[in-house]
Structure 1
Amino acid sequence: MKRIALFPGSFDPFTKGHEDIVLRGLRLFDEVVIGIGRNARKERYFPLEQMINLIEGAFLHYPAVRVISYEDLTANVARKIGATFLLRGLRNTTDFEYENGISQVNRYVYEDVETVFLITSPNLAPISSSIIRDLHRYGQPVDTFLPYALTSAAVNPVPSPTDSPAD
């Protein structure tokens, strides 16, 4: 039986820390599916389709990695794609507290799913998508933190609700 892991998240954006978890996950699983969850109540900073393309490009030479987007409970998606593992990265104890509760609920929804936690590599632990969004929003370079190049031609951030069009 193929060991499939779903690596769920908003990935807004997908960072080198996320990449590290996927690459290390490939040592444990036959396939890692990066699942970008869509949340109708939460507006993305980077457009979903463009992020999917950038992530797919970053794993072009890894046939055991694929990218999907979904709007459903993560446990339901895992069941639908045949994943019996959820792959998650932990940067600190705060992440553990948050992820522990989610893993319990996922197991309630889909009893055959196991959550596997990988501790983030120390050099990547300070990286978070929210920090990268803030840096990018205010014009700071962020490519050092990403497994792909973010150019203005490649990704156009979704304007925040507080941005007003130029007169």
Structure 2
Amino acid sequence: MKVIEKAERLARLGVDPVVLNHYREPHRFYHTLEHLDDVWQQLENRGYSDNDVLLLATIFHDIIYDPRSGTNEEDSARYFNETFTGDGALKALVTDIILDTKHHKPGSALSEIFSAADLNILKQPFEKLLTYEQQIFKEFQFVDHKVYREKRIDVLKSLQQSVDNPALDYLIDYVENFKPRIAVYPGSFNPFHKGHYNILQKAERIFDKVIIARGINPGKDKATYELPEILRYRQTETYEGLLTEFVDTLNYDVTIIRGLRNGSDLQYELNQYRYLQELGGKNISVTAIFCDMEFEHISSTGIRQLEKYGKAGEYLLF
């Protein structure tokens, strides 16, 4: 049974089922409601469907999940304690289980049962492990690929010590050798507006990862807008000088994304492409993407003008 179908039971325990909306946050790809369903299915299969402690631990163990944070377990436990209005003894048991998931070192029999269910994904065949890895990769888009690969291998090798699954060797080998399709989306982004975001979303359907590269352009106004919060979980970089020089610093193959609004942009970008070829080599790769029609009139220059009259809000991201 899906955890979302436990709303009535949760309400009786003193939990507002609306807390499950945390698992619908857009930066989650693995730590979602589907993960909760998998954990709960494991517990039900082992005969714990009536155990309220394990149900609450399932619901709250990843309730706060920020891949940039190192205190998710502590924050989840704190959130549980602040929102749970039920039995005090129950609260203490669930809190301990949530905190134990930080290093998966169970401090009780119930915690050991829950940890096994939470880590069950690591016992799966390679095909499922690969899907799991792809989801984790998406959650850590903000980390440079070379850094991610190194840290991820360390994590998998650490988890391997507590899970006996030969398929994990294949997964580690995959992470070591995987070359994701990475794109760089450059621009001055002053501001980064809804038209830019439309292009970014399309690029992310094509590539495994898109780096937002904010260039300091001496020919344009000094940046007066911060990048919007919606980009928090994506890799963003700032560079000075030539785009080709920035790309060289990455030390891995990338494709450059150019956003187009109309035919006039296309002619301009064709000329830019020639410069990129001459400065960056003939093998440089560029993908041009047209924005949707509803965004083709939006420009950063126009928004800055509208801002003077307090009319720019509908075009901005926050």
User: Which TM-score applies when normalising by structure 1?
Assistant: 0.76
Match of 2:270 among 76, 100, 109: 100
Contact in 2 for aligned 1:75/1:113 (Cα 8 Å): no
Name the counterpart of 1:19.
197
Partner SS, residue 213 of structure 2: strand
Distance 1:31 1:58 in 2: 15
Distance 2:185 2:304 in 1: 21
Contact in 2 for aligned 1:38/1:69 (Cα 8 Å): yes
Match of 1:135 among 284, 303, 306: 306
1:76 positional shift? 1.6
Is 2:212 aligned against 1:70? no
Match of 1:109 among 260, 279, 282: 279
Name the counterpart of 1:122.
293
Name the counterpart of 1:89.
259
Which consecutive residues of structure 1, in runs of 5 or more, have no partner in the other structure? 149-167
User: Which has more helix, going by share of residues?
Assistant: 2
Distance 1:100 1:134 in 2: 28
CA gap of 1:45–1:108, structure 2 versus 1, over 3 A, is: closer
Q: How many residues align?
A: 138
Partner SS, residue 210 of structure 2: strand
Contact in 1 for aligned 2:181/2:207 (Cα 8 Å): yes
Partner SS, residue 192 of structure 2: coil
Distance 2:296 2:258 in 1: 13
Which consecutive residues of structure 2, in runs of 5 or more, have no partner in the other structure? 1-178
Residues 103-154 of structure 1 show CA distances to partners (whole Å, capped at 9, x for unaligned) of 11112222232110011100111111111000002x2221211121xxxxxx
Select the structure of larger CA radius of gyration.
2
Partner SS, residue 26 of structure 1: helix
* Identity between Structure 1 and Structure 2 (%): 28
User: Which has more strand, going by share of residues?
Assistant: 1
Is 2:203 aligned against 1:34? no
User: Which TM-score applies when normalising by structure 2?
Assistant: 0.41
Name the counterpart of 1:162.
none
Query: Runs in 1 of length 4+ with deviation above 4 angstroms?
Result: none
1:59 positional shift? 2.5
Contact in 1 for aligned 2:244/2:279 (Cα 8 Å): yes
Partner SS, residue 214 of structure 2: strand
Distance 2:317 2:253 in 1: 25
The CA RMSD measured in Å over matched residues stands at: 1.6
Is 2:5 aligned against 1:5? no
* More relative contact order, 1 or 2 (CA 8 Å, 6+ apart): 1
